[in-house]
Amino acid sequence: KIRLDVQSAFPLATPSAGENATYFGDRINRLSHGELEVKVYGAGKLVPSLQIFDAVQQGTLDAGMTSPHYVAGRFPAVQFFGGAPFGLDPVRHADWIYNGGGGEIWSEIYEAQGVKTIPCGLMGAESGGWYNFRIESTEDLKGKKIRFAGLAGSVMAKLGASVVLLPLSEVYPGLERGVIDGAEVSMPAIDTLFGLQQVSQYFYLPGWHQPSAMNELIINLNKWDSFDAEQQSLIYETCKAINLSSIMSTETLNAKAVSDFEAAGVEILPFPDTVLNDLRMAFDSVVTEQASKDGDFRRVWDSLQAYRADISAWSDRN
Amino acid sequence: MVRPQLSTVVAVSQALAAIQWFTLRVGQASALFVPLLMVTVVLNVTLRYIFSIGSIQLEELQWHLNAVAVMGCMAWAYQKDVHVRVDVFRNRMSPRVRAGIEAVGVLVLLLPFLWFVTVSAWSIFGYSWHLKEGSPMPSGLPARYLIKFVMAAGLSLLFLQSLAVLGRSLLVLVSTEPSA
Amino acid sequence: MDALFVFLLFSTFMIVMFSGYPVAFVLGGVAVLFAILGTVLDGFSVGGELASLRMLGFVANRIFDTISSYSLIPISMFVFMGLMLERSGVAEKLLSRMHFLLRGVPGGMAISVVLIGVLLAASTGIIGASVVLLATISMPAMRKAKYSDNLGLGVVGATSCLGILIPPSIMLIVMGDQLQIPAGNLFRGAILPGLLLAACYIAYCVIVALIRPEVAPAIAHRSEDNLRVGLRSLFTSLLAPVLLITSVLGSIVLGIATPTEAAGIGAAGATLIAVASGNLNWRQFREVSEQSALTTSFLFALIFGASCFSVVLRGYGGDEVIEAALYAIPLPPLMTLLLTLTIVFLLGFFLDWMEIILIIAPLLLPSLSAMGHDPTWVAILMAICLQTSFLTPPVGMALFYLKNTLPDVGITQIYRSVIPFILIQLAVLLLAIALPSLVTW
Ligand code: NA
Ligand code: NA
């Protein structure tokens, strides 16, 4: 009987991202005929979410259900797996990772660190963000204080916004009191839990900064090697099942949340095309800068572009 | 009771004094990071509210400075006996008993705690250094390993200082007669 | 079985704490000993949830998370601001003016202590400095005016604790960080209960002075006293701190700035006031910086120790034990809340706010929110309740500071003097339970 302690980077009650961990524990415990004993811990119970990777790498924690974004400071390249601006739609994102060569580079980067990674938790598009000012042109972003993370944060900064780092718990009061003018948190189903519709006037779509995302199950490599082939495949296939349940779990919830936002008096607006264009151009230059500094970043970006080219005969027309 | 040789006592005292001096200097230098933090916050606020310029590096710098002040002064705080104690009974204890408790406390509580934490702090730093880790924000501060070094070094300094406290307490124990 | 180890862990900590060894190190050390115990017992295949040495590997990760936390940055800034204001001599001047003006009123000097206490509370977030300041200035003056020590000690002790409730408050910042509640919301929620407490203290002083004039006698003003001059000088010395307090607190509560920004501006403002009052040179500036760094350091050390303790507690299944205990007897949500607050009150006899907020509160709050209670309200109720922990023997920080400042007073007399104020605190707590809008306005 092998025990596997898994800590989630998200509160277990969070739709999809958090629920995936509970789903994983339930299935493995049931399907492994008692050979594996998974114990799932909620966010922060043992180790802070940002440090899950370190703890797994050192073997103090067996495994984590987390997002590649949490290690962006160490391996900037993996942000593309965790969901990047102007990325693919969810099914193609998964296809790129599973069959298009993306997953191999991902595994390679982590395995050099002694960590096994398994795609585990496919997510749909996020909200384009909450704002208390109208975005009619790129000029409107200049000097505005907004909370945006990761590559998207750099894109916004490039267009003249003043990007603020704010803990998640400070977003609501920050918007309420005008400390910030806008913020990106997650998808509508999760945004609604923070009550952002009560403190924002405008809700923008599409979620250009993250049209899809893949979370991950990371396991200490020694621990992973201690499983036999059947157990390994059980874990791998369970994660594949989770990808489907994860992406399905939020479609209706998102729709309901957006209707609630509307009912609460929030104006739902589309980003103007000119703004989206400028964002895309800013993103391209951010990518070029990063790619010149980091070899893996370039490799992953090239792989993503190659996949795009491979499917373009179909995807451009569909 | 066996008295230690005077020369041993002198050598030990000198070593303790050296540790104390080092802790004090590091602490005094780190404390200046508090006003430095104040200046950084004021600068950040001015840029943001008056010139509408936001800098992620300036924001990150704030907790970096705070971390240096906190970790750099932790050992000094023990030297100056600033850490909170429950002194209901302590007030009535003789210096000898206090020294005894301090010695046992260092040996049984503080050193084991610091041992485990400091060892993993150094390995966290080592890993971060190996990866040349930076901020997860592309426009954030580089060299996050520096601050992980500050954490490991601060804990190690507290380890060193606790050895000095242990030595000082033992000196009190061997150099005073048990009260009649 | 699990409950037994959780109980042993807590009781060992409390017993060892009374040795007088620094609390932060006792927390960490006892936790490590129990992690060793768990590993050894596991070797003997003792069943149930056990902590293990491996779990200690998480502690350094947690420490890094603490020192890299944005929500804890205001601590050092607010400490700096409070110390700087003290150094400027503004508070001292204020207190003597107010004493002078109010000495003709029954209980007037006690009232002036409360009023200055509120002002101090609104400009600093820690209690040590305000106890010492209020005690050293007020006690001799009140004794000279023939006030009873009992009333004087009680007022000074209780009033100086207001600083940890009335924002800015280090306690609320740590609470917000631990419970994931915005510090600004906690600040807002604590204002009215804090002011209400102060009002009740004043009312108590007036009532005592009216019923028993001999413990708080009024002194007639002599004809040569110039009330107008007194009032004017009071006004000028009041100006600077009031300006500072309104700009700092106002910017947080109205939301013009984040807590960190407001704290940094406050620290800079206090420095300017000290410079303007001519009480600041380079040496004193360094002293304030060093004192702030040391205070912040010991607060963080407590967080580190408690963090280690929490990990080991979790290893022994502490979360499940506490949750099971809360749900063991099916009570209506309000009764569970009252029960929890009673536990917090009782723990306050032995523990400080730090240990209660770092270890106990994160275990209790999720269950209470799950029952439908507003987290901010519950947190403020705990904060009011924790006011008593400073004053209840045997472990009460305000009591220790008082005793250290006034060596000629017996500790039992101090214990007796604060009893009416503890009762007032409990009454305000009940009021805040009955009237949630006091907190959630
Ligand atoms: Na305060
Ligand atoms: Na107490």
- Give the pLDDT confidence of C149-185 residue by residue, as tens digits: 889 999 999 998 898 898 888 888 888 877 878 777 8
Measured at the CA of C425, the angle between CA C322 and CA C359, to 5 degrees, comes to: 25
Rounded mean pLDDT of A170-179?
77
Write down the pLDDT at residue C141: 80
| CB-closest option in B82, B89, B117 to C60 | B117
% of chain A exceeding 70 in pLDDT? 99
pLDDT value at residue A110: 95
The answer to whether residues A150 and A72 touch, using CB atoms and an 8 Å cutoff, is: yes
pLDDT score recorded for residue C255: 65
Quick check: B109 and C26 CB within 8 A? yes
Say if A153 is an interface residue toward chain B (CB within 8 Å).
Answer: yes
Strand extents, DSSP E, A63-212: 63-66, 115-123, 130-131, 145-147, 162-163, 182-183, 202-205
pLDDT tens readout for residues C202-231: 999 999 988 988 888 777 666 556 667 777
H/E segment holding residue C205: helix C183-211
Contacts of A1 (CB under 8 A, 6+ apart): A34, A35, A36, A37
Contact indicator for A210, A125 with CB cutoff of 8 Å: yes
Give the model confidence (pLDDT) of A254-283 as tens digits.
999 999 999 989 999 999 999 999 999 999
B127 with A71: Cβ contact below 8 A: no
| CA closest to A290 among chain B residues | B138
Task: Give the model confidence (pLDDT) of C79-106 as tens digits.
Answer: 888 888 878 777 777 777 777 777 777 7
For C80, name the nearest residue in chain B, comparing CA atoms only.
B34
Whole-number Å distance, alpha carbon B50 to ligand 1 midpoint, is 28
Region A78-88 average pLDDT: 94
Are A179 and C54 in contact (CB < 8 Å)? Answer: no
For residue C411, is pLDDT > 60? yes
Instruction: Give yes or no for residue B160 having a pLDDT over 90.
Output: yes
Q: From CA C190, how far away is CA C176, in angstroms rounded?
A: 12
Q: Is the pLDDT of residue A284 over 90?
A: yes
Query: Which member of A45, A60, A178 has the closest CB to residue C255?
Result: A178
Q: pTM higher than 0.80, yes or no? A: yes
Name every chain C residue with its beta carbon within 8 A of the beta carbon of A178: 255-256
Cβ contact C388:C348 at 8 Å: yes
Q: Which residues in chain A are contacts of C254 at CB distance < 8 A?
A: 177
- How would you list the strands of the sheet with A162-163, edge to edge? A162-163, A145-147, A182-183, A130-131, A202-205, A267-270
pLDDT at A37 over 60: yes
Q: At residue C187, does pLDDT exceed 90?
A: no
- What is the arrangement of strands in the sheet containing A2-8, beginning at the earlier edge strand? A36-41, A2-8, A63-66, A213-220, A115-123
Give the pLDDT band (50/70/90) at residue C118: confident
- In chain C, the residue whose alpha carbon lies closest to the alpha carbon of B90 is C20
The fraction of chain A above a pLDDT of 90, given in percent, is: 70
CB contact under 8 A, A169 and C71: yes
Please provide the average confidence, as pLDDT, over all residues in chain C.
84
Nearest ligand to the C-alpha atom of residue C74: 1
Distance between CA atoms of residues A40 and A36, nearest Å: 13
Residue B1, pLDDT above cutoff 60: no
C275 vs C87: CA distance, rounded Å? 10
Q: What's the pLDDT at B138?
A: 66
Which of A106-115, A176-185, B49-58, C145-154: highest mean pLDDT? A106-115
At C226 the pLDDT is: 67
Listed residues: CB within 5 A of ion ligand 2: C 348-349, 389, 392, 395-396
CA distance A278 to chain B (A): 19
Whether A76 and chain B come into contact, CB under 8 Å, resolves to yes
The pairing of strands A182-183 and A145-147 is parallel
Interface predicted TM-score (ipTM): 0.87
Of residues C409 and A274, the one with the higher pLDDT is A274
Mutate to test the interface with A, among B41, B46, B49, B56 (most CBs of A within 10 A): B56
Distance (Å) from CA C395 to ligand 2 centroid: 4
Q: Name the neighbours of C, counting chains with at least 3 Cβ pairs within 8 A.
A: A, B
Q: Note the pLDDT of residue C222.
A: 62
pLDDT above 90 (res B40): yes
What pLDDT was estimated at residue B165? 95
pLDDT at C128: 67
* Dihedral of the alpha carbons of B63, B66, B70, B76, in degrees to the nearest 10: 150
Predicted pLDDT of residue C30: 95
Nearest residue on chain A to C60, judged by CA atoms?
A: A47
Distance C382 CA to ligand 2 centre (A): 14
Confidence band for C120, pLDDT divided at 50, 70 and 90: confident
Please tell me the predicted confidence (pLDDT) of residue A135: 95
What is the pLDDT, as a whole number, of residue B180? 41
Closest Cβ opposite residue A55 in set C57, C69, C181: C57
The predicted pLDDT at position B3 comes to 62
Do the Cβ atoms of A169 and C181 come within 8 Å? Answer: yes
Determine the pLDDT at residue C67. Answer: 92
The Cα–Cα gap between C344 and C346 comes to: 5
A219 in helix, strand or coil?
A: strand
Q: How far is the CA of C438 from the centre of ligand 2 (A)?
A: 25
The mean pLDDT value for C269-286 works out to 87
pLDDT of amino acid B179: 53
In three-state form (DSSP H/G/I as H, E/B as E, the rest C), the secondary structure along chain B is CCCCCHHHHHHHHHHHHHHHHHHHHHHHHHHCHHHHHHHHHHHHHHHHHHCCCCCHHHHHHHHHHHHHHHHHHHHHHHHCCCCCCCCCCHHHCCHHHHHHHHHHHHHHHHHHHHHHHHHHHHHHHHHHHHHCCCCCCCCCCCCCHHHHHHHHHHHHHHHHHHHHHHHHHHHHHHHCCCCC
Summary mean pLDDT of chain B: 88
- Exposed e or buried b for every residue in C13-40, given b needs 16+ CB within 10 A? bbebbbbbbbbbbbbbbbbbbbbbbbbe
Best CA proximity match to C362, nearest among C329, C394, C322, C422: C322
Question: Is the pLDDT assigned to residue C390 strictly greater than 80?
Answer: yes
How confident is the model over B147-170, as a mean pLDDT?
A: 95
Name the band, by pLDDT with cuts 50, 70 and 90, for residue B6: confident
pLDDT score, position C160:
87
- C-alpha C339/C-alpha C84 separation (Å) is 41
Q: Which of C25, C80, C300 sits opposite B105 (nearest CB)?
A: C25
Distance from CA of B144 to the nearest CA of A (A): 9
A164/B contact by beta carbon, under 8 A: yes
Give residue B79's pLDDT.
94
Inter-chain contact B54–A161, Cβ cutoff 8 Å? yes
| Rounded distance between C-alpha atoms, residue A175 and residue C258, angstroms | 11
Asked if residue B139 lies in contact with residue A157, where contact means CB atoms within 8 angstroms, the answer is yes
Closest Cα in chain B, distance from residue C255 (Å): 13
> CA–CA separation, C427 vs A237, rounded Å?
59
Q: Dihedral, CA atoms, A13, A15, A19, A23, nearest 10 degrees?
A: 140
C393 Cα to the center of ligand 2, angstroms: 5
pLDDT winner (highest mean) among A294-298, B91-95, C402-406: A294-298
Contact yes or no for B117 and C59 at CB 8 A: yes
Paired with A123 in beta bridges are A213
Query: What pLDDT score was predicted for residue C379?
Result: 93
Binned at pLDDT 50, 70 and 90, residue C69 comes out as confident
Contacting B residues, span 25-44, partner chain C, CB-CB under 8 Å:
27-28, 30-35, 37-42, 44
Mean pLDDT for the stretch of residues C16-21: 89
Q: Which of A53, A83, A98 is nearest to A221 (CA)?
A: A53
Give CA C85 to chain center in angstroms: 18
Mean pLDDT of the region C433-440: 87
Q: Where are the beta strands (DSSP E) in chain A?
A: 2-8, 36-41, 63-66, 115-123, 130-131, 145-147, 162-163, 182-183, 202-205, 213-220, 267-270
Chain A nearest-CA residue for B135: A73
Chain A residues within an 8 Å CB radius of B137: 72-73, 149-150, 153-154, 165
Q: Pick B54's closest partner by Cβ from A74, A163, A289.
A: A163
What are the pLDDT digits (tens) for C331-376?
888 888 998 899 889 888 877 787 788 888 888 888 888 888 898 9
Q: Is B101 on the interface with C (CB under 8 A)?
A: yes
Which chain B residue's Cα is nearest to C257?
B45
How much is the pLDDT for A250?
93
User: Which of A46, A50, A165 shows the shortest C-beta gap to C58?
Assistant: A46
- Give the residue-averaged pLDDT of B100-124: 95
Q: For all residues of chain A together, what is the average pLDDT? A: 91
| Mean predicted confidence (pLDDT) in B81-91 | 80
Which of B78, B76, A45 has its CA nearest to residue C307? A45
Question: Distance between CA A176 and CA A163 in Å, rounded?
Answer: 17
For the four alpha carbons of C138, C139, C143 and C146, in that order, the dihedral sign comes to positive
Question: Higher pLDDT residue, A50 or A127?
Answer: A127
Question: pLDDT class for B72, splitting at 50, 70, 90?
Answer: very high
Whether B31 has a pLDDT exceeding 90, the answer reads yes
Q: Is A286 on the interface with B (CB under 8 A)?
A: yes
Average the pLDDT over B8-22 and give the result: 89
Q: How far is the CA of A193 from the centre of ligand 1 (A)?
A: 31
